[in-house]
Copies of this chain bind each other. A is one copy, B any other.
Amino acid sequence: MEQRLRVVMAQLNIRVGDVYGNVEKVIEAAHKARDDLNAQVIVFPELTLCGYPPEDLLLRSSMQSRIEKALQQVKNAVKGIVAVIGFPWVEDGARYNSCAVISDGEELARYNKQRLPNYRVFDEKRYFESGSGPCVVELFGVPVGITICEDIWFSEPLKQACDAGAQIMLTLNASPFHRGKQAEREKLLAKRASECSIPMIYVNQVGGQDELVFDGNSFVVDGGGKVTQRAPAFEEGLFVTEFEIKEGALVPVPAQTTELLSLEASVYQALVAGVKDYVQRNGFKGVVLGLSGGIDSALVLAVAVDALGAENVEAVMMPYHYTAQMSQDDAKEEADILGVKYSVLPIAPMVEAFLSTLAPMFEGLGKDTTEENLQARCRGTMLMAISNKKRYLVLTTGNKSEMAVGYATLYGDMAGGYDVLKDVPKTLVFRLCEYRNTLGYVIPQRVIDRPPSAELAPDQKDEDSLPPYPVLDEILRLYIEQDLSADAITEKGFDKEVVRKVIRLVDLNEYKRRQAAVGPRVTERGFGRDRRYPITSGWSIGE
């Protein structure tokens, strides 16, 4: 056994589906790890060659042949360093979530993931069969065990590898972010490492992929479960970790341990990463959004500018009769502070044209939300026209509380390609604004302090028709993230009728969410693939 083992954690931003592009990135990283970082081993994330999650691209007939070609390229090009790399693999009619250990053109070992997550956002049993048995391979005299992501959430796979002699564990991951996730991971690895007294290297990818954001945060724990190194969150890079042999055991050399981000910082960075990758990877030059003078669009504007640069962001204020002058002033101020292009396009001519065309049909019927929705839809149509003409993506600004209770207009303020705050409850929106202002004042304080209003009717306030946001958000958290019933939530001290009203709204508005834009998941349970409810449902509220 040599005296030192130098491993690179390849915390890469992988592109789903782009097998040929990903393999080039892999080869470049391996060469850099070998030549510049003097590493012996480089470990890539789960399913690196196809990206994660590949979804039904896995079912395409040519996925396997592309992967085979890519793997051959790795074998041909990666010499002088051992590469541990994940990819899907079909054998005897079964598809596995696999990884291979490649050294100088040879495949030294192969491992198939044993535990397949099939809950929340994960659908791995749709695609993969479970592997059986551990993988331990000797590298530079050290018996190295390998697991993939979900494996380590159970005791057995690690225990198998240790029983087979592993003295260090590599774990390849594509582990999506949610608030507090890194603390969970580190707690888990501390437990696992201690169970077997073995050091572990946890490699995760970074970047946004539709609903998911990957935060990186690759890290190392020693045999006692202590974190000895942590790579930065949301930052692509090759991070070296080194081990030395002390009294016959592998001991990680303590290295840069980036501080854990605060909740606000981690969520904010997740939103920025989500916007950046969604916009750029879908080929848009920039984004356009409607500024209302309210807090949600102010936050989205800040995120967009941090993600894409002010020169790629356009803001449009679309006032109507109910838009306060204060809202127009604040919207302009937001745009001015951040230096984005700002336009004012009043919607009255369109709204009036619709209303007068519809007047004969609506005769005798009173005013209701129809007229409010019409305003929102004129704004949505305007933004989409700008989007079409300039090839800018429309960012929508609905937060999770609004998406939950349907406090948004389909094809109106919901019109757009990416909903930045889709999984951010309103109370967290406030905290994120305060946080962003600590980095530099960009959101006028008045925008944060004003009572929220959709301004679709005279003197309208959100809290006229909804409970105060701290109450609403807690009921929503218990109902959506914890699946509690109305009765169970009421027992926690909330008003029974308020709870039932909120839950009824959540259930009723499934049809709106089904047509909503995707947006980055930042809580333990977002909307989208994470929460699959029928639209047509006879479920009754209560126990």
Binding site for B on A (CB under 8 A): 15-18, 20-22, 51, 53-57, 59-62, 65-66, 118-119, 123, 125-126, 208-210, 277-278, 281-282, 343, 345-347, 349-350, 352-354, 356-358, 361-362, 365, 368-370, 373-374, 377-378, 380-382, 384-386, 388-390, 410-411, 415, 417, 483-485, 487-488, 511, 514-518, 529, 531-540, 542-543
Which residues of chain B are within 8 angstroms of A511 by Cβ–Cβ distance? 282, 417
Taken together as a complex, chains A and B put the C-alpha atoms of A210 and B534 apart, in Å, by: 7
Which residues of chain B are within 8 angstroms of A410 by Cβ–Cβ distance? 384, 415
Select which of B352, B390, B483 is within 8 A of A60 by beta carbon: B483
Which residues of chain B are within 8 angstroms of A57 by Cβ–Cβ distance? 533-534, 537, 539
Given contacts A370-B389, A534-B55, A536-B210, contact A60 B485 (CB under 8 A): yes
Asked if B18 and A538 sit within 8 Å, CB to CB, the answer is yes
* Distance from A529 Cβ to chain B, minimum over Cβ atoms (Å): 8
Taken together as a complex, chains A and B put the C-alpha atoms of A365 and B358 apart, in Å, by: 32
Question: What residue in chain B is nearest A388 (Cβ atoms)?
Answer: B370
A sample of 5 inter-chain contacts (CB < 8 A) reads: A16-B538, A123-B126, A350-B357, A352-B353, A373-B388
Taken together as a complex, chains A and B put the C-alpha atoms of A165 and B318 apart, in Å, by: 74
- Scoring A66, A281, A350, A386 by chain B CB atoms within 10 A of each residue's CB, the highest score goes to A350
- Scoring A357, A390, A415 by chain B CB atoms within 10 A of each residue's CB, the highest score goes to A357
Asked if B533 and A56 sit within 8 Å, CB to CB, the answer is yes
Question: What residue in chain B is nearest A378 (Cβ atoms)?
Answer: B381
Taken together as a complex, chains A and B put the C-alpha atoms of A59 and B65 apart, in Å, by: 39
Given contacts A357-B345, A357-B349, A370-B389, contact A61 B488 (CB under 8 A): yes
Taken together as a complex, chains A and B put the C-alpha atoms of A543 and B20 apart, in Å, by: 12
Which residues of chain B are within 8 angstroms of A350 by Cβ–Cβ distance? 350, 353-354, 357
Taken together as a complex, chains A and B put the C-alpha atoms of A22 and B539 apart, in Å, by: 11
Asked if B358 and A385 sit within 8 Å, CB to CB, the answer is yes
Asked if A386 and B361 sit within 8 Å, CB to CB, the answer is yes
Given contacts A51-B538, A353-B353, A536-B281, contact A61 B20 (CB under 8 A): no
Taking A210-B535, A374-B381 as given, write out 9 further A-B residue pairs in contact, using a Cβ cutoff of 8 Å, ordered by the A residue number: A16-B539, A18-B538, A55-B532, A125-B126, A282-B535, A350-B354, A358-B385, A368-B388, A377-B380
* Distance from A510 Cβ to chain B, minimum over Cβ atoms (Å): 10
Select which of B61, B119, B347, B539 is within 8 A of A17 by beta carbon: B539
Select which of B56, B208, B415, B539 is within 8 A of A18 by beta carbon: B539
Which residues of chain B are within 8 angstroms of A51 by Cβ–Cβ distance? 538
Taken together as a complex, chains A and B put the C-alpha atoms of A488 and B62 apart, in Å, by: 10
Which residues of chain B are within 8 angstroms of A21 by Cβ–Cβ distance? 538
